[in-house]
């Protein structure tokens, strides 16, 4: 099943819902970063969460999720836009922890003390940023707490995944139900959340062959609703050789000259997709000449991401 997201509205109930399958993009991200099973689960939930938040945005807007804790995973981040493109990474992809009662101990992996940061680019002068303490460190309930505290809109979120016996992702997806502004019925979101808790987890349903539409049909059984959008999803990074060259230029002429003297070349890796961009001696010399001919250029201490 190709990755996609479905958007629907139940006007009489006063809620909207999003359901998505993210199996392929989560699998690709796990392969790119060579994650351990628990790191792959953490990355997958962050990617799926970003997909759901991105689907709530308007055209050309973007959102970033960053989970940071005192556990060995350190940091997990994902970015998504309103077009269904998402990318992400985990700072320590090789971390592995023993199962607890047959389940991944995500709270221990990310840490029980930390922060969830949500940054939205709404095409305004400044980014909109919300920071909350991690509540459960499960990458799931924390996102719901974000909606409760920062958005203050009744919202229920479920993110999940299914792995095979080798630790490979075989199904991933998510579900979000949210009260419509000025239209919602008190308690409706909580009632629907109770209903879905009586069903198998969304990832299990997807693994059994259910589509996002079928998942919504189970949750909204007996209620009138309208599905009005199906949006393709994919792992996509906007890094490139030219963007990476621009990032290198931020180092300044002195740093580039030292790099030429000590290494004679440079290779830059993208945090998000792990693609690498190589710059040989000639290319660095051209860059140095351009910087030297521009007296207004200034250096910084490092480059975080191309």
CATH number reported for the structural domain that contains residue 48 in this entry = 3.55.30.10
The CA-atom distances, in angstroms, between 49 and each of 101, 111, 143, 239 are 25, 19, 8, 22
Would you say residue 19 lies in a domain? Answer: yes
For residue 118, count other CB atoms closer than 10 A to its CB.
Answer: 21
Would you say residue 260 lies in a domain? Answer: yes
Residue 304 gets the label, from left (phi > 0), alpha (psi -120 to 50) or beta, of alpha
Residue 260 has pLDDT above 50, yes or no: yes
Distance CA 49, CA 28 (A): 16
Is 152 or 90 the better-scoring residue by pLDDT?
90
CATH number of the domain enclosing 270: 3.90.1280.10
Distance CA 122, CA 110 (A): 28
The tokens describing 36, both together, are: 């351990």
Three-state secondary-structure class, residue 276: strand
Please tell me the predicted confidence (pLDDT) of residue 19.
98
Q: Do residue 207 and residue 253 come from a single domain?
A: no
How sure is the predictor about 302, in pLDDT bands with cuts at 50, 70 and 90?
very low
Contacts of 295 (CB under 8 A, 6+ apart): none
How sure is the predictor about 304, in pLDDT bands with cuts at 50, 70 and 90?
very low
Distance CA 92, CA 36 (A): 9
Q: Do residue 77 and residue 222 come from a single domain?
A: yes
Residue 297 has pLDDT above 80, yes or no: no
Number of structural domains, the chain?
A: 2
Would you say residue 300 lies in a domain? Answer: no
Please tell me the predicted confidence (pLDDT) of residue 114.
95
Burial class (CB within 10 angstroms; exposed 0-12, middle 13-18, buried 19+) of 205: buried
Would you say residue 189 lies in a domain? Answer: yes
Contact 128, 119 (CB under 8 A): yes
Q: What is the pLDDT of residues 39-78, one digit of tens each?
A: 999 999 999 999 999 999 999 999 999 999 999 999 999 9
Where a domain ends, among 235, 266, 301? 235
Where a domain ends, among 220, 235, 250? 235
Q: Do residue 227 and residue 258 come from a single domain?
A: no
Q: What is the pLDDT of residues 8-44, one digit of tens each?
A: 999 988 999 999 999 999 999 999 999 999 999 999 9
Would you say residue 303 lies in a domain? Answer: no
Would you say residue 213 lies in a domain? Answer: yes
Would you say residue 149 lies in a domain? Answer: yes
Would you say residue 167 lies in a domain? Answer: yes
Distance CA 283, CA 84 (A): 35
The tokens describing 105, both together, are: 């101990």
Q: What is the pLDDT of residues 184-194, one digit of tens each?
A: 677 899 999 99
Please tell me the predicted confidence (pLDDT) of residue 184.
61
Closest C-alpha to 134, from 88, 211, 69: 69
Contact 204, 174 (CB under 8 A): no
How sure is the predictor about 295, in pLDDT bands with cuts at 50, 70 and 90?
low
Tell me the percentage of the chain whose pLDDT exceeds 70. 95
Please give the residue range of the domain that contains residue 272.
241-292
Distance CA 162, CA 160 (A): 7
Q: Do residue 21 and residue 132 come from a single domain?
A: yes
Residue for token pair 């009632």: 191
Q: Do residue 208 and residue 223 come from a single domain?
A: yes
Q: Do residue 105 and residue 213 come from a single domain?
A: yes
Q: Do residue 229 and residue 103 come from a single domain?
A: yes
Contact 46, 76 (CB under 8 A): yes
Distance CA 65, CA 134 (A): 13
How sure is the predictor about 292, in pLDDT bands with cuts at 50, 70 and 90?
confident
Q: What is the pLDDT of residues 119-155, one digit of tens each?
A: 999 988 889 999 999 989 999 899 999 999 998 889 9
Tell me the percentage of the chain whose pLDDT exceeds 90. 75
Q: Do residue 230 and residue 253 come from a single domain?
A: no
Question: Which sign does the torsion angle of CA 43, 105, 20, 205 carry?
Answer: positive
Please tell me the predicted confidence (pLDDT) of residue 187.
87
Q: Do residue 87 and residue 110 come from a single domain?
A: yes
Q: Do residue 97 and residue 29 come from a single domain?
A: yes
Three-state secondary-structure class, residue 279: strand
How sure is the predictor about 209, in pLDDT bands with cuts at 50, 70 and 90?
very high
Where a domain ends, among 235, 253, 271? 235
Q: Do residue 43 and residue 116 come from a single domain?
A: yes
The CA-atom distances, in angstroms, between 205 and each of 31, 200, 272 are 23, 6, 29
The dihedrals phi and psi of 43, each to the nearest 5 degrees, come to: -65, -40
Q: Do residue 193 and residue 254 come from a single domain?
A: no
Query: How many Å separate Cα 306 from the centre of its chain?
Result: 18
Please tell me the predicted confidence (pLDDT) of residue 306.
38
Is 139 or 302 the better-scoring residue by pLDDT?
139
């Amino acid at each position: 099943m190709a990755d996609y997201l479905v958007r629907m509205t139940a006007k009489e109930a006063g809620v909207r819902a999003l359901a998505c399958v993210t199996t392929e993009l989560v699998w690709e991200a796990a392969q790119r970063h060579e994650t351990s099973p628990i790191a792959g689960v953490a990355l997958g939930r962050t990617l799926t969460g970003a997909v759901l938040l991105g689907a709530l945005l308007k055209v050309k807007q973007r959102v970033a999720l960053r989970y940071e804790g005192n556990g060995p995973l350190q940091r997990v981040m994902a970015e998504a836009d309103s077009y269904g493109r998402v990318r992400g990474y985990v700072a320590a992809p090789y971390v592995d922890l023993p199962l607890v009662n047959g389940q991944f101990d995500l709270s221990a992996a990310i840490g029980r003390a930390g922060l969830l940061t949500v940054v939205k680019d709404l095409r305004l002068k400044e980014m909109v940023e919300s920071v909350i303490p991690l509540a459960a460190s499960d990458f799931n309930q924390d996102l719901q707490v974000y909606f409760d505290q920062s958005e203050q809109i009744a919202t229920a979120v479920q993110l999940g995944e299914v792995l095979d016996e080798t630790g490979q992702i075989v199904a991933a997806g998510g579900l979000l139900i949210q009260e419509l502004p000025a239209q919602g019925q008190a308690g409706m979101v909580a009632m629907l959340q109770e209903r879905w808790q009586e069903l198998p987890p969304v990832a299990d349903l997807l693994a059994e062959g259910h589509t996002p539409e079928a998942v919504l049909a189970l949750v909204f059984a007996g209620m009138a609703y309208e599905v009005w959008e199906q949006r393709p999803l994919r792992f996509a990074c906007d890094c490139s050789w030219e963007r990476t060259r621009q990032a290198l230029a931020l180092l300044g002429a002195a740093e580039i000259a030292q790099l030429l003297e000590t290494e004679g070349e440079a290779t830059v890796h993208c945090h998000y997709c792990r693609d690498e961009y190589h710059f040989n001696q000639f290319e660095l010399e051209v860059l140095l000449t351009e910087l030297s001919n521009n007296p207004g250029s200034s250096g910084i201490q490092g480059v975080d991401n191309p």
